[in-house]
Amino acid sequence: MRLSQMLFQTLREDPAEAEIKSHKLLLRAGYIRRIGSGIYAYLPLMNRVLQKISNIVREEMNATGAMECLLPQMQPAELWQESGRWETYTKAEGIMFSLIDRQDRSLALGPTHEEVITTIAKEMIKSYRQLPTHLYQIQTKFRDEIRPRFGLMRGREFIMKDGYSFHTSPECLKKTYQDMDQAYRNIFSRCGLKFQAVEADSGAIGGSGSQEFMVLADAGEDDIVYTEDGKYAANVEKAVSLPSDVIPSPFTTYEKKATPHTETIAKIASFLECSPTNMVKNVLYQAVYDSGKTVLVLVSIRGDQDVNEVKLQNELVKLASNYQATTVLSLTVPDRTAQGKWSTKPLPLGYIAPDLSDDYIAKSDQVEGNFLRLVDRTAVDLENFVTGANESDYHVVGANWGKEFTLSKLIVDVRKAQVGDRSIHDPNQVLQTARGIEVGHIFQLGTKYSQAMGATYTGEDGTEKPFVMGCYGIGVSRLAQAAVEQSHDKDGIIWPTSIAPYHVVVIIPNITDQEQVAVAEKLYTELNQAGIETILDDRDERAGVKFKDADLIGIPYRIVTGRSLKQGKIEFVTRSTKESQDIAIEKVAKTLSEIIKNSYDFD
């Protein structure tokens, strides 16, 4: 490709709309253009990067025996009504774009494809003899994200590889799941990424596991914890650990104490000169179930611990049937306005005890009349603890379960693992944290969708059984940007060779110099013929501009037909190290073939 003929434009300044480095660089270097909120055009250079990533994905997926297909992006509402996700996806989470066609039928733009693929399996797979099977596709997905941001990281239209496997048993699923784990490791290594596989939240379905692949980068939206020995890594949403030891309470008798202005744990700890580890903190949440019921949830947890809202949400979904519901639509800490909608009187916020009276709730058809009282495990064994007195500016001390307070039967693990906690697999290992960009997710779904949609096959024993399913995603466009987030310097992008749009850029410093042009043209043809993907910067620009642009767009190798031509050589520069050497013109193709081959091996 000749740069002079390409729709190509670089920007000197960082665009105001971009916050993180990779987003700025992709915009500045002319890879992408913003068309609307979370909607981007992939310009020719970007398209090549996406094709390279897709091809790596394809090769590794095909090697596992999975088959590529292409499913419709327009999905009839009926499929989503069958799986029970239409309401949640269009209304509650609101993440799905939906529309009504001229025949008055509801449709949605696919955010994911479990419904479509399960329908196909239901119609086409009749017998256990056809199993296992695994289909995948690489396609644009649509999601009306609440906060589209960071360019391709969180778009409303983005490219995903999604695959779905069908099995007769959880064991068979596990095997494919392990194959996917390996295939994903191969894919991300070949893309030149530094990544970490982490245990991930599987939502309330539980299932026997789900794993995310994180590209480590400070700009990542996910918090992960890991141990130095490499034996434990998890998304913080899912992470477990050992809480620190309890420092015994200094109080031995039950007493109510005036504790003015101590509405936070830190304040009450310093006022009473005792440790937060012997306090019971009571946190109020408001959950709205899909039956329309609002439930006020009171979580009692040890004072030094925090609630992990993902774990809490999962516990609440398990209790959904108590409220004639199947799922939780929203979980929030109610602010004053929200409290005003259901409370009969002002709440003693900051001074709540585990037995806060149900009288605070104005019961109605929409609002459950009793607090749902959950106790985190960390609070169960506390003795002589400090907690609120249900009255502003007062606490009680020396309290005990079974005496002053009844311990709820709903004991759960909803605590958030914290940096510095001891690990469960080895208490000598301490949790560290890092930020990650989720580029892939593999998931053992089980029978959730097949059961809901009546997708069954005839088993060996002649009975009808629901498919056991797995699903596996990779954010292809997000991955492309994650690579930039991980690999750049002050001058621009440094693409890993395997996903760079081109291997080499040949720069003609002065296009009025016949010799420079002639050598560059010859090399351009020769290299492309040798299978080295080469771009020619033949623009009528100053040499300095061309060098800056070459650094910015991040092509791994650069050839300059400049001064060294006098010795029959060209200048060869490696983008990542900026090291330069002169190479004889006739040796260029051979030398480069080797260098590029080696850089792939290295990736």
Q: State the residues that interact with ligand ATP by CB under 6 A.
A: 112, 143, 145, 154-155, 158, 160, 438-441, 473, 475, 477-478
Q: CA of 224: how far to CAs of 181, 197, 471, 499, in Å?
A: 18, 10, 22, 26
Amino acid (1-letter code) at residue 117: I
In angstroms, the CA 573 to CA 561 distance is: 12
Residues facing residue 328 across a β-bridge: 289
CB of 480 to ligand ATP, least distance (A): 10
CB of 121 to ligand ATP, least distance (A): 19
Q: 17: which 2 tokens? A: 């709309």
Q: Which is nearer to ligand ATP, 372 or 445 (CB)?
A: 445
CB of 65 to ligand ATP, least distance (A): 21
Strand order in the sheet with 328-332: 328-332, 280-289, 294-302, 372-376, 411-412
Q: Which is nearer to ligand ATP, 235 or 599 (CB)?
A: 235
CB of 493 to ligand ATP, least distance (A): 19
Q: Which is nearer to ligand ATP, 156 or 395 (CB)?
A: 156
Q: Which is nearer to ligand ATP, 310 or 511 (CB)?
A: 310
CB of 57 to ligand ATP, least distance (A): 12
Q: What is the DSSP string of 570-591?
A: EEEEETTT--EEEEEGGGHHHH
CB of 452 to ligand ATP, least distance (A): 18
In degrees, rounded to 5, the angle at the alpha carbon of residue 525 between the alpha carbons of residues 592 and 549 is 70
Comparing every residue's Cβ against ligand ATP, the nearest one is 475
Q: 131: which 2 tokens? A: 């199993």
Supply the DSSP symbol for 244.
Answer: P
Q: Which is nearer to ligand ATP, 111 or 501 (CB)?
A: 111
Per residue, the 3-state secondary structure of 356-370, as one string, reads CCHHHECCCCCECCC
Amino acid (1-letter code) at residue 55: N
Q: Which is nearer to ligand ATP, 300 or 477 (CB)?
A: 477
In angstroms, the CA 330 to CA 337 distance is: 16
CB of 143 to ligand ATP, least distance (A): 5
Q: Which is nearer to ligand ATP, 102 or 147 (CB)?
A: 147
Supply the DSSP symbol for 241.
Answer: -
In angstroms, the CA 117 to CA 146 distance is: 26
Residues facing residue 136 across a β-bridge: 68, 163
CB of 505 to ligand ATP, least distance (A): 29
Q: Which is nearer to ligand ATP, 140 or 169 (CB)?
A: 140
